[in-house]
Amino acid sequence: MVGVRGGLLVAGTSSDAGKSVVVAGVCRWLARQGVRVAPFKAQNMSNNSAVTPDGGEIGRAQAMQAAACGLEPSVRFNPVLLKPGADNSSQVVVLGRPAGQVGALSYRDRRAALADVVLSTLDELRAEFDVVVCEGAGSPAEINLRAGDIANLGLARAAGLPVLVVGDIDRGGVLAHLFGTLAILDPADQAHLAAFAINKFRGDPALLAPGLTRLTELTGRPVLGVLPWHPDLWLEAEDSLSYTADGVIGRPAPPVGEQWLRVAVVRLPRISNATDVEALACEPGVSVRFVTEPSRLADADLVVLPGTKATVDDLRWLRSQGLADAITSHVRAGRPLLAICGGYQMLAGTIVDGVESGAGEVHGLGLLDLTVTFATAKTLARPSGTAFGEPVSGYEIHHGQVTRRGSVPPLVDTADGPEGALSGAVAATHWHGLLDNDPFRRALLRWAAAHAGRHRFRPAEDTDATATRQAQLDLLGDLVAEHLDTDALTSLIDHGVPAGLPTLTVSPGEDPGGGPAARSR
């Protein structure tokens, strides 16, 4: 396949149907064959983002998919990123750089110009790589949003891409979801929908086989395979919607020492970069759980206050839920708190925000003697330094700038000066990805266990967060190779949209039982 300028669009019947992981799996499968492959998501809506080597910002899922390809993340892999900061507005990031705020209606006026950016970027990638595997956004069946679409069938038609639709059987009704996704599309869009795949199947595939045969008979599209549910596939969720409230993260292994360390992560309404805490969940004896109400903090050893796209609004939510008082009581009892980015900003005595919320000066939690002032320019960086005596690196994505009012010891020492705070039972930082540094994470866990009185907890000395993520990517590649019809998949990638795909027509008012109401022409 080397030398082929092929492409594929992986769409889903809904958000979190498995598009991101299927794209990553296909990319890994191709890369292991020596194919020069790149990921692409025209438009992503997520607060879970990463910083590229040149200081741009993209969806974290595309950074994960780049790793599956053996590539550094690039702004070209996700040219348009929407970061929701409120229910009715989002920050627009174009080719890695902030480009203003939009609402649902005002965004329509920008899509034509953004479509040009998307298509020209995709053209560049297809000229450079053998294969580009594209990920759709949401569902292609959202026909209310079809006009001006630049991420699903609009992209497929403009770029001549075949579409593989993935359905999540764990949600139930997957055969109807796949059939309905095709049936609701207009004929020109249907012509690009070439095949289906099932995701997260548990049980005997033989029980599903008659349904898949019937789906192919009704639609004229093959089902390329059934990907099984696998307990090890929990890292790098596409966005925070994948994290349920009060849910355990990962599959905690038994402790190395004699005690567990219980970690409660506050599930903020506008949480960002929730994947920061996944490295903690890789550790044996560390139980990490998202929480949304105060009683869940009562028996927590370590509380984590994570990043947010709306610091002031989520601080207001903390207070309304009683969580602010619970966090303050936790710290004043000498028990440890880790705060990241927006969570760090909440700990200040004063927050001055004329950018995100427009609230002006508000009182923070007052746990650190700091002032945070929001700047119009966003800080995007991949810094390095030393923390707990260990070399560390991470990435920064924030508008808030910290001014130290008193003598607040830093968490990280850098060539550019102090970063974060390490004061009593509080550790705080603007850096995302800091917990991915294995020696630092072990030191932090020892620090947290000491403050929590968990003296018989001992961190493992061999947990490797990066290797764990790479192993997941290998597993995804294995699942694609073992459970999808890779010959048919290769044909789609090499030869594009198959000719002669039937059009499904559904006529209202006629027999819905398989007669004229559901037929091909």
Cβ neighbour number for residue 204 with a 10 Å cutoff: 8
Highest mean pLDDT (candidates 96-100, 109-113, 147-151, 282-286): 282-286
Q: What is the pLDDT of residues 7-29, one digit of tens each?
A: 999 999 988 889 999 999 999 99
pLDDT at 111: 80
Judged against a pLDDT cut of 70, whether residue 507 lies above it is answered with no
Least confident of 120-129, 268-277, 379-388, 501-510: 501-510
- DSSP tag of 248: B
pLDDT value for 236: 66
Q: Assess whether pLDDT exceeds 50 at residue 42.
A: yes
pLDDT of residue 496: 93
Which residues are known to be catalytic?
Answer: 341, 432
Tokens of 69: 């390809």
Query: What value does the mean pLDDT take over residues 91-108?
Result: 83
351 within 8 A of 362, measured Cβ to Cβ: yes
Q: What CA–CA distance (Å, rounded) separates 311 from 272? A: 10
pTM summary value: 0.89
State phi, psi for 79 to the nearest 5 degrees: -65, -25
Residue 441 has pLDDT above 80, yes or no: yes
3-state class of 82 per DSSP?
A: strand
Q: Does domain 7-229+485-520 have CATH number 3.40.50.11540?
A: no
User: What average pLDDT score do residues 402-425 get?
Assistant: 91
Pick the CATH number of 244-463 from 3.40.50.1100, 3.40.50.300, 3.40.50.880, 3.10.28.10: 3.40.50.880
Give me the sign of the Cα torsion angle 492, 496, 498, 501: positive
- pLDDT, tens digit (0-9, with 9 covering 90-100), for 68-99: 999 999 999 999 999 987 667 788 999 999 88
Average confidence (pLDDT) over 470-483 = 95
pLDDT of residue 171: 82
pLDDT in tens, 238-253: 544 444 445 788 888 8
Residue-range domain boundaries for the chain:
7-229+485-520, 244-463
How far apart CA 132 and CA 155 sit, in angstroms, is: 13
Q: 200 φ, ψ to 5°? A: 65, 40
What backbone torsions phi and psi does residue 463 show, to the nearest 5 degrees? -70, 125
Instruction: Report residue 105's pLDDT band, with 50, 70 and 90 as the boundaries.
Output: low
| The pLDDT value given to residue 231 | 80
pLDDT of the residue at 519 = 43
pLDDT for 353 beyond 60: yes
Nearest CA-CA partner of 379 in 395, 394, 398: 398
% pLDDT > 90, the chain: 77
Q: How many angstroms separate the CA atoms of 25 and 17, rounded?
A: 14
Average pLDDT for the chain: 90
Structure tokens at 247: 């849910």
- pLDDT for 69: 97
Please indicate whether the domains covering 7-229+485-520 and 244-463 agree at the CATH topology level. yes
The set of residues, in sequence order, having a beta carbon less than 8 Å from that of 36 and lying 6+ positions away, is: 2, 128, 129, 130, 131
Position 511 confidence tier, pLDDT thresholds 50, 70, 90: very low
Per-residue confidence (pLDDT) for residue 99, from 0 to 100: 87
Structure tokens at 191: 């012509």
Say what percent of the chain tops pLDDT 70. Answer: 93
Q: Which of 412, 356, 404 is nearest to 381 (CA)?
A: 412
The two beta strands, 421-423 and 426-429, are antiparallel
